[in-house]
């Protein structure tokens, strides 16, 4: 793919995309929570050919039509998000600082210690400053309370 496409896609991510890190409740996970990273591109329905082109360029993720008339192209997962952010980081402007923070988050070891997991949760909390989500409910404090209640850390 031409390098000019990289700059174009990074610009699209800067303007009509999101880079997110979230703490998700997962009872079957060791610490009761999962950190999820994602990149999502948004476009009005009717531009599916563009979203398909984008997916062909990036090779990951899925496209879905929302009920509100928007189309989302989402890429989820540490490995996938890391690869995409490394590829476009130098071209980002508006989301460069957020991308740098998410690149640190995805460096979490496969089997982190409680301390490492909580440090990553704190970075997830910091990443929220860059996004406008009103639905965000789980923060590091809730993770600490859960870990203490389940004797995984001392209060």
**Which residues are the active-site residues?**
15-16
- As a whole number of angstroms, the distance between CA 63 and CA 71 comes to 7
Query: What is the rounded CA–CA span in Å between residue 41 and residue 27?
Result: 29
Helix (H) or strand (E) holding 83: helix 78-88
Cα torsion 55, 61, 64, 69: sign: negative
DSSP letter string, 27-56? TTSTTSEEEEEEEEEEEETT-HHHHHHHHH
- Number of Cβ within 10 Å of residue 62's Cβ equals 10
């Amino acid at each position: 793919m031409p390098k000019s496409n990289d700059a174009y896609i990074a610009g699209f991510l800067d303007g009509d995309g999101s880079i997110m890190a979230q703490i998700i409740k997962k009872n079957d996970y060791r610490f009761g929570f999962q950190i999820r990273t994602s990149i999502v591109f948004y476009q009005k329905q009717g531009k599916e050919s563009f979203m398909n082109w984008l997916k062909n360029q990036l090779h990951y993720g899925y496209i879905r039509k929302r009920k509100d008339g928007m189309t989302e192209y989402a890429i989820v997962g540490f490995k996938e998000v890391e690869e995409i952010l490394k590829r476009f980081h130098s071209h980002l402007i508006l989301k460069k600082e957020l991308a740098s923070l998410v690149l640190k988050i995805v460096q979490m070891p496969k089997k982190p210690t409680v301390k490492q997991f909580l440090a990553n949760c704190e970075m997830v909390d910091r990443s929220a400053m860059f996004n406008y989500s009103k639905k965000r409910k789980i923060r590091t404090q809730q993770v600490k309370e859960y870990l203490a209640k389940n004797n995984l850390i001392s209060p």
